[in-house]
Amino acid sequence: MTRLLYGGRNSLIIGIGSALICTVLALILALLAGYYRGWVDFVITRFFDLFYAFPVILLGIALGAALAVNGFHHFGISLDSGTQKANLIIPTAIISYVLIPYVGRPLRGQVLSLREKEFIEASVAQGAGPLRIMFSELMPNVMSSVLVFFTLIIANNIVLEAALSFLGAGVQGETPSWGKSISDGQALIVTRPWLTLAPGLAILLTVLSLNVFGDGLRDALDPRAKVKIEH
The predicted structure's pLDDT at residue 73: 63
User: Cβ distance 203 to 159 under 8 Å?
Assistant: yes
The predicted structure's pLDDT at residue 28: 93
The predicted structure's pLDDT at residue 227: 40
Structural domains in the chain? Answer: 2-223 (1.10.3720.10)
DSSP bridge pairs for 77 = 74
The predicted structure's pLDDT at residue 29: 93
Q: What are phi and psi of 81, to 5 degrees?
A: -65, 140
The predicted structure's pLDDT at residue 79: 66
The predicted structure's pLDDT at residue 91: 84
For residue 19, what is the enclosing H or E element?
helix 2-36
Give the total residue count for the chain. Answer: 231
The predicted structure's pLDDT at residue 60: 81
- Report CA-CA distances (Å) from 178 to 41, 90, 175, 181, 204: 39, 16, 10, 5, 11
The predicted structure's pLDDT at residue 37: 84
In a 3-state reduction of DSSP, which class is residue 34?
helix
The predicted structure's pLDDT at residue 76: 61
Residues of the chain with confidence (pLDDT) below 70:
68-84, 222-231
The predicted structure's pLDDT at residue 81: 60
User: Cβ distance 165 to 8 under 8 Å?
Assistant: no
Distance of CA 123 to the CA centre of its chain: 32
- Global confidence as pTM: 0.83
The predicted structure's pLDDT at residue 23: 93
